[in-house]
Amino acid sequence: MNILISGGSGFLGSAFSEAIIKRYQRDNKEVQVTWLTRDSSQAHPVDIKMMTYDELTKSHQSFDVVLNLAGAGIADKRWSDERKEQLLTSRVQPTEALLAFMARSSTKPKLLISGSAIGWYGTQGDKPLTESSDFKADFSHKLCDDWEQLALKATDYGVPVVIVRTGVVIHPEGGMVSKLLTPFKMGVGGQLGNGKQIMSWISRADWLGAVLFIIEQHLTGQNSQQRELLKQGHQNSIGDVLRTANDTPAVVYNLTAPNSVTNHNFTKTLGAWLHRPTFFTLPTFLLKLMFGEMSTLLIDGQKVLPQALLEAGFEFKQPTLTQALEQQ
């Protein structure tokens, strides 16, 4: 297995690199992970190779799988016009570089897995959303959709595409939980707004397991049903098949746990895990004042379900929030 990862040094990319190396070494199989980077001097594990974007434009190397995770954090800064442009550019430029590489490569990758987020569905409250659900237009949807539509162009070169729409990833070493640890440990953690908004989440361990599962499923030919449906013109006959201009498979998976929670329940669960009180509440008007348009990520809920993963036979190891926090 030879895999190329954009965003390999990030919260998910670095953990995935470690996980796939361990999996293949355990099974006595060869695996080589390469991180795509703009800085060749970037620190990295000794068993990871590095390739710059300039090197990619000249490379004739072949990869079995390309994992496209590069992109600035959508919740890291307030959404000014400049920040919105940064969020889009940080996703578009790496994806365009990967597409250019695939276009001229004599040996095409067997699979492109491209990141996205459940923000694609827009804010739809407590309405259950699966891979076949429609969207509500807003900035999050447009950002995700622009990224997805660009990645789907890989099918023009005969490269199958999997879009992974990820929810809030739970792990103390990064993401939302790491940002909340300090205030919660100080006893000033609390719910956001009325606390009724739905949070669709996934443990990092299950995210890693799901991506490994998807790779194994697609590379071993278990996706043949979807390929046949596409050839027959039934692009929308099952929920996770995306429409493309050819018969190269393109599918989407929601990477969320089957048990979403309200912000109130999340707050109480995190407080109980840390053995700290959660008396405080940040009112909606203050969140809007502090974060502007970005506050929609905090006060508007999404109930996104992993229907395609479950139907494919994936088994969650940490399906509840308590398990995700305790079994790291």
Identify the CATH number of the domain in which residue 96 sits.
Answer: 3.40.50.720
8 Å CB contact between 78 and 294: yes
pLDDT of the chain, 328 residues: tens digit per residue: 999 999 999 999 999 999 999 999 999 999 999 999 988 777 788 899 999 999 999 998 999 999 999 999 998 889 999 999 999 999 999 999 999 999 999 999 999 999 999 999 999 989 999 999 999 999 999 999 999 999 999 999 999 999 999 999 999 887 778 888 888 888 888 899 999 999 999 999 999 999 999 999 888 865 555 555 444 444 433 335 676 667 788 999 999 999 999 999 999 999 999 999 998 888 999 889 888 998 898 899 899 999 999 999 999 999 999 999 886 5
46 lies in some domain: yes
275 lies in some domain: no
Res 236: pLDDT: 39
271 lies in some domain: no
Burial class, 149, CB count within 10 angstroms (exposed 0-12 / middle 13-18 / buried 19+):
exposed
Between strands 111-117 and 65-68, the pairing is parallel
Q: How many domains does the chain have?
A: 1
Res 328: pLDDT: 56
196 lies in some domain: no
3-state class (DSSP) for residue 148:
helix
8 Å CB contact between 231 and 253: no
Give all strands of the β-sheet with 65-68 in edge-to-edge order.
48-52, 32-37, 2-6, 65-68, 111-117, 161-166, 250-255
185 lies in some domain: no
H helix or E strand, kind and range, residue 156: none
Domain limits for position 155: 2-170+201-256+305-315
107 lies in some domain: yes
Integer Cα distance of 89 and 53 in angstroms: 15
Between strands 198-199 and 261-262, the pairing is antiparallel
264 lies in some domain: no
Q: Which residues contact 132 (CB under 8 A, 6 or more apart)?
A: 236, 238, 239, 240, 307
Res 220: pLDDT: 80
66 lies in some domain: yes
